[in-house]
Amino acid sequence: MKPFKLSTVLLYLFLILGALIMIFPFYWMITGSFKTADGINAFPPNLIPTEITLKNYRFALETAPFARYFLNSVIAAVASVSICTLTTILAAFAFSRLRFVGRVRIFGMLLAMMMVPFEMVVITNYRTIVQMGIHNKLIALIIPFSSSIFYTYILKNFFDSIPESLYQAARVDGCSNWRYLWRVMVPIAKPSLYTIVLLNTIASWNSFMWPMLATNSKNVRTLPFGLYTFVTEGGARNEIMMAASTIVVLPMIILFLVTRKNIVNGVARGGLKG
Partner 1 sequence: MNITLDHVTKKFAETIAVNDFSARLPSGQLLCLLGPSGCGKTTILNMLSGIVPVTAGRIFFDDRDVTELEPEKRGIGLVFQNYSLYPHMSVLENICFPLEIQGVKKSERIRRATELAEMVYVDNLLKRRPAQLSGGQQQRVAIARALVKNPQLLLLDEPLSNLDARLRIEMREEIRRIQQETRVTTIFVTHDQEEAMSISDQIVLMKDGYLQQIAAPLEIYRNPINEFTADFLGNPVINKLSGVVRNGKIRIDGTERELALPTAEALADGRKIHLSIRAESFEPSDERDETVLIGSVAALSVTGKDTLANIRVGDFDVRALVDSDAELSAGETVGLTLKSRGVFVFDAESGERLA
Figure out which of the listed residues 61, 149, 184, 250 binds partner 1, where binding follows CB under 8 A: 184
Q: CB under 8 A: which stretch of 97-105, 174-182, 216-224, 250-258 binds partner 1?
A: 174-182
Q: Which are the contacts of 73, defined by CB distance < 8 A and separation ≥ 6?
A: 205, 222, 223, 224
CA distance 116 to 120: 7
Q: Which is nearer to partner 1, 158 or 205 (CB)?
A: 158
In whole angstroms, how close is the CB of 189 to partner 1 at the nearest point?
10
Figure out which of the listed residues 134, 166, 199, 212 binds partner 1, where binding follows CB under 8 A: 166
Tell me which DSSP letter residue 45 carries: P
**Phi, psi at 85, each rounded to 5°:** -60, -40
Buried b (16+ CB within 10 A) or exposed e, 78-105: ebbbeebbeebbebbbbbbbeeeeeeee
Q: CB under 8 A: which stretch of 46-54, 153-161, 180-188, 238-246 binds partner 1?
A: 180-188
Interface mask (CB under 8 A) for partner 1, residues 235-274, using x and -? ----------------------------------x-xxxx
Told to check if 188 binds partner 1 by CB under 8 A, we report yes
Q: Which is nearer to partner 1, 183 or 261 (CB)?
A: 183
Interface mask (CB under 8 A) for partner 1, residues 79-118, using x and -? ----------------------------------------
CA distance 220 to 63: 17
CA dist list (Å): 197 to 180, 185, 187, 263: 21, 16, 14, 11
| Residues comprising the chain, all counted | 274
In whole angstroms, how close is the CB of 271 to partner 1 at the nearest point?
8
Q: Which is nearer to partner 1, 7 or 165 (CB)?
A: 165
Figure out which of the listed residues 50, 163, 216, 219 binds partner 1, where binding follows CB under 8 A: 163
Figure out which of the listed residues 171, 218, 260, 261 binds partner 1, where binding follows CB under 8 A: 171
> Residue 181 class from Cβ within 10 Å (0-12 exposed, 13-18 middle, 19+ buried)?
buried
